[in-house]
Amino acid sequence: MRFGLRTRVALAFGLLSLIIAGAVSGATYSVARWYLLNQREDSAITRAVLDSRSVDASLAADLAPVTALEQVPSVGTSQPMIQVQGVWYTSGVTVPPASLPASLLSTAAKDGGSQQRTTIGDEEYLLVAIQLGTSVYVEVFPLRDLDLVLTIGGWLLVIQTLFAGIIGVFVGRYTFARIIRPLLRLGAGARRIASGELSTRIQLMRDPDLDPIAASFNGMAESVQSRIKREQRFSANVSHELRSPLTAVVGTAELLERNLDDLPEREQRLIGTLQTQTARMSQMLLDLLEISRIGNDDPLLKESVSVTTLCLDAIHVRGLPEDLIHVEDEGDHLITTDTRRFERIVGNLIDNANRHGGGVTAIHIARISHSDPEHIVVAVEDAGPGIPVDEVPKLFEPFTRGEDAKETSGAGLGLAIAIEQAHLLDVELRVESVDPHGARFVMEIPVAIEPEDVDE
């Protein structure tokens, strides 16, 4: 599983913090351990030397070895012992003399004294041996307290290291959010422009590094908006200029058609073709005018209306039977929309099915209650050959017709107008294939809020 950029940045910060904190904690622990052990050794050696002098003085005063050991001040938990003429005497039984390393005694006999850390049983001890003439004085210092201190300190450093890693993760997420926020704003602006909000601009943040990017984006958006407006004006002007001569041509064709019986058969066929083509040209100009006006100065006039009623009006205008409509559940299926634009979408889908898809076979209306908010689905099915997958992305572009369409007389503007109107009405419009053949154009419309459901 690949993590997102935010998670990867947070984990990177956390790992970096963990490594740095671990290195610092390890160095701190090593230095503290070295320092405390050296301090303990120095104090133990000093204590052992002083205690050995006290024992040596007692032995010189002809005191018994046990009595001499009793003269050693009791400080801490150290255990003194002495070997006199091969016999060991000790003040305790924590560490038996037999468990002392031979190397400790041999080194003390050779050099006059020695020290050694060793483990006896499960405990670690510091042993200090001092040669007193023919006798050997040994003092045993347990390191249990020091080990406990180092263990607690080590675990505290481990916890601090983990805590630093967790803080690093949160710092990484926060830093990423601050860095990525301008890019998210750019992305949101780009999506709004792609959805048709050409007036979208990014506010400058007075940041010398980010403001040039925002300014470039605003310049691009301004250029795109200006170009689209020029194209819309050009389409509208051309369509408007062509209407007058086309009206004259249509009138002439209608006049000739009324006197068709007085003309030879060949001229009758030519006039029939002229009538068909002028009607097609007239419809194309109307479509071009409408697509150039979409999103400009034509406001939305929304009202609450029944989807079933709008679909019935669309098929009545085209002389289609009402049994094409199949309502899959009961209810009024109310939506809040611009009825003229909605009827144009449904009408264009029906015309597209009749012109290119072998005719409308059914119009399904259903409610999707498990979505939030609820949606009403309108699906227009046809009897055509279906739409290849590679043609779906360009299907709603102007002047696009499917290669397998039943008829190619249309200009290819119907679906382009439908998708533009759908964007304005916040309606999702998509196409699906129907087994074994045919296509289904699906509209998903948010359900209108019933008046009684609105909070007072």
| Number of domains, the chain | 3
Same domain? For 257 and 339 the reply is: no
- For residue 267, is pLDDT > 80? no
Residue 49 located in a structural domain: yes
- pLDDT for 290: 65
Residue 114 located in a structural domain: yes
Average pLDDT of the chain to the nearest whole number? 81
Same domain? For 22 and 98 the reply is: yes
Residues 46, 52: Cα–Cα separation, whole Å: 10
- For residue 43, is pLDDT > 70? yes
Residue 61 located in a structural domain: yes
Residue 89 located in a structural domain: yes
Residue 205 located in a structural domain: no
Same domain? For 284 and 310 the reply is: no
- For residue 370, is pLDDT > 60? yes
The CATH number covering residue 142 comes to: 3.30.450
Whether the upstream peptide bond of residue 451 has omega within 30° of 0, thus cis, is no
Q: Give the closest residue to 257 by CA, choosing from 247, 242, 268.
A: 268
Same domain? For 256 and 357 the reply is: no
- pLDDT for 128: 92
Same domain? For 285 and 312 the reply is: no
- For residue 405, is pLDDT > 60? no
3-state DSSP assignment of residue 303: strand
- For residue 172, is pLDDT > 80? yes
Same domain? For 98 and 227 the reply is: no
Query: Which residue, chain included where needed, has tokens 């050779």?
Result: 110
* More confident of the two residues 166 and 356: 166
Q: What is the mean pLDDT of residues 118-144?
A: 88
Residue 202 tokens read as 């990014």
DSSP 237-290: HHHHHHHHHHHHHHHHHHHHHHTGGGS-HHHHHHHHHHHHHHHHHHHHHHHHHH
Residues 443, 314: Cα–Cα separation, whole Å: 15
Q: Write down which residue in 239, 267, 293 finishes a domain.
A: 293
Backbone angles phi, psi at 443, to 5 degrees: -115, 130
Residue 184 located in a structural domain: no
Same domain? For 312 and 407 the reply is: yes
- pLDDT for 454: 36
pTM of the model: 0.49
Amino acid (1-letter code) at residue 314: A
Q: Write down which residue in 231, 260, 293 finishes a domain.
A: 293
At 428-449, the pLDDT tens digits run 898 887 766 788 899 998 875 5
Q: Write down which residue in 266, 293, 320 finishes a domain.
A: 293
The CATH number covering residue 367 comes to: 3.30.565.10
Same domain? For 272 and 334 the reply is: no
Q: What is the mean pLDDT of residues 85-92?
A: 86
Q: Which domain holds residue 268?
A: 221-293
* More confident of the two residues 377 and 277: 377
Residues 138, 48: Cα–Cα separation, whole Å: 8
Compute the radius of gyration of the chain from its Cα atoms: 47
Residue 401 located in a structural domain: yes
Same domain? For 444 and 363 the reply is: yes
Amino acid (1-letter code) at residue 305: V
The CATH number covering residue 279 comes to: 1.10.287.130
- pLDDT for 448: 58
Residue 333 located in a structural domain: yes
**SS3 sequence of 124-183:** EEEEEEEEECCEEEEEEEECHHHHHHHHHHHHHHHHHHHHHHHHHHHHHHHHHHHHHHHH
Q: What is the mean pLDDT of residues 338-353?
A: 88
CA atoms within 13 A on the CB side of 279: 9
Same domain? For 282 and 319 the reply is: no
Pair 224, 189: CB distance under 8 Å: no
Task: Return the minimum-mean-pLDDT range out of 113-117, 128-132, 211-215.
Answer: 211-215
Same domain? For 339 and 391 the reply is: yes
Q: What is the mean pLDDT of residues 339-346?
A: 88
Same domain? For 344 and 392 the reply is: yes
At 300-322, the pLDDT tens digits run 788 888 888 889 998 998 889 98
Q: How far is CA 431 from CA 110, 236, 378, 380, in A?
A: 99, 29, 12, 9
pLDDT-above-70 percentage for the chain: 87
Length of the chain: 456
Task: Return the minimum-mean-pLDDT range out of 13-22, 157-166, 175-184.
Answer: 175-184
Q: Which regions of 14-84 does DSSP assign to beta strands (E)? A: 79-84
- For residue 453, is pLDDT > 50? no
Query: Which residue, chain included where needed, has tokens 């009545």?
Result: 316
Counting Cβ atoms within 10 Å, is residue 354 exposed (0-12), middle (13-18) or buried (19+)?
middle
Residues 298, 320: Cα–Cα separation, whole Å: 30
At 148-168, the pLDDT tens digits run 888 899 999 999 999 999 998
At 186-212, the pLDDT tens digits run 888 888 877 667 778 888 877 787 788
- pLDDT for 166: 92
Please work out, in degrees rounded to the nearest 5, the angle formed at the alpha carbon of residue 160 by the alpha carbons of 158 and 165.
95
